[in-house]
Amino acid sequence: MATLNLGATVGEQLRAQGVSRRGFMKFCSTMASVMALAPAFAPRIAAALDKAKRPSVIWLPFQECTGCTESLTRSHAPTIENLIFDAISLDYHETLQAAAGHQAEEARTKAMQANWGEYFLAVDGSIPLANKGYSTIGGVSNVDLLHQVAKGAKAIIAIGTCASFGGLPKANPNPTGAVSVSDLIKDKPIINISGCPPIPIAITGVLAQVLTFGQLPELDHYGRPKAFFGQTIHDRCYRRPFYERGQFAETFDDEGAKQGWCLFKLGCKGPVTYNSCPTTKWNMGVSFPIESGHGCIGCSEPDFWDWQGLYRPLSTTRWGGYQALGVAAAAGVAVGAVAALAARRKQRPVGEDQT
Ligand code: SF4
Ligand code: SF4
Ligand code: F3S
């Protein structure tokens, strides 16, 4: 975790951490690109971040698996995203901070008082309502703590599908009565950065955008930043030409799979999943699930655990039957066009009637 320097600007904090100018500019260019801005915006982003006062972020972990925090911190070397995130944040993080017990709670209270109305609240994990005692921090239930800290927050960032939509804890039959942050907080701006876990650069990107332009990003109908969730995985998937030609892998080790054909018939949920994995990728730009040979499981969408099964093709109940797809696939290009059209009709959450 970064050394705390409350008065430092983002630029000063980054320099103190040994981030090179080149690394910083690379990050700013990436930010400009993911925010769909011209490359010429990179120096403006750099200048703004350089002068921006380090904002206070309080991170509360509720019913979570720590995967969201791991996604930010687990790499063999610190990434620029990690460094930026440390530089502009984290006055309190239950999992990462050295302090524990009363000391930790005191740190949170102090950060809240010093930055009342200005701090960002980051939350990972869902909130159990069936019994407040299912998840507590310092003897305070998640739901009470959320209300308490949200009160003084400028905005709330729900990190991961659990905090954004309930996620895994909310999967049927939802034994803890798990809900999302936006189910409980109605009077603060909430940015949902979904994903199980979410892409680190989406988190840092949102913070960079707030710092650079002084405003919250444009959100989609699920409260997710459009810059990162504006298109489906399918829209940007490099296997799309195979889909359009009706060339599908039927098993994970058949000839089609070896040739890198489309994974639609193996259950890929890319056509109905909004995220930017195909462009930002994972593990410092190495790859993303589809590039590793596995279909997208829809991890950034509400209730994806309760969809029709991770390996069942979407067509079985949504696009007129698997058999129909098979027939059309034989016709080559036609299936791609029809299925693509069906995918574009999707806009409603999976699980709802699409007819
Ligand atoms: Fe874990 Fe996924 Fe929930 Fe994050 S969103 S806490 S990775 S289950
Ligand atoms: Fe890529 Fe999946 Fe779409 Fe096929 S169905 S093109 S693998 S996103
Ligand atoms: Fe999740 Fe699909 Fe990306 S499973 S990590 S949204 S490719």
**What is the reported pLDDT for 26?**
82
Placement of tokens 């030409």 in the chain: 241
Residue 176 tokens read as: 């803890």
**What is the reported pLDDT for 11?**
78
Per-residue b/e over 22-51, b at no fewer than 16 CB within 10 Å? eebeebbbbbbbbbebeeebbeebbebbee
Indicate the residue type of 236.
R
Task: Name the residue of 192, 273, 291 to mutate for ligand 3: max ligand atoms within 8 A of Cβ.
Answer: 273
**What is the reported pLDDT for 323?**
36
Q: What stretch(es) of the chain map to CATH 3.40.50.700?
A: 10-229
CATH fold for the domain made of 10-229 = Rossmann fold (3.40.50)
DSSP string, 88-144: T--SEETTT-S--HHHHHHHHHHHHHHTTTTEEEEEESBEE-S-GGGSEETTEEHHH
* Cα 275 to ligand 2 centre (Å): 13
Nearest ligand to the C-alpha of residue 192? 1
Nearest CA to ligand 3 atom 2: 296
**What is the reported pLDDT for 16?**
79
Q: What stretch(es) of the chain map to CATH 4.10.480.10?
A: 233-345
Spans in the chain with pLDDT lower than 70: 1-7, 34, 72-100, 315-355
Q: Strand 178-179 vs strand 92-93: parallel, antiparallel, or unpaired?
A: unpaired
Per-residue b/e over 157-175, b at no fewer than 16 CB within 10 Å? bbbbbbbbbbbbbbeeebe
Neighbours of 231 (CB within 10 A): 14
**What is the reported pLDDT for 320?**
39
Which CATH number applies to 233-345?
A: 4.10.480.10
* Cα 336 to ligand 1 centre (Å): 33
* CA torsion, ordered 319, 193, 98, 79, to nearest 10 deg: 90
Ligand 3 pocket residue status of 264, Cβ below 6 Å: no
pTM recorded for the entire structure: 0.82
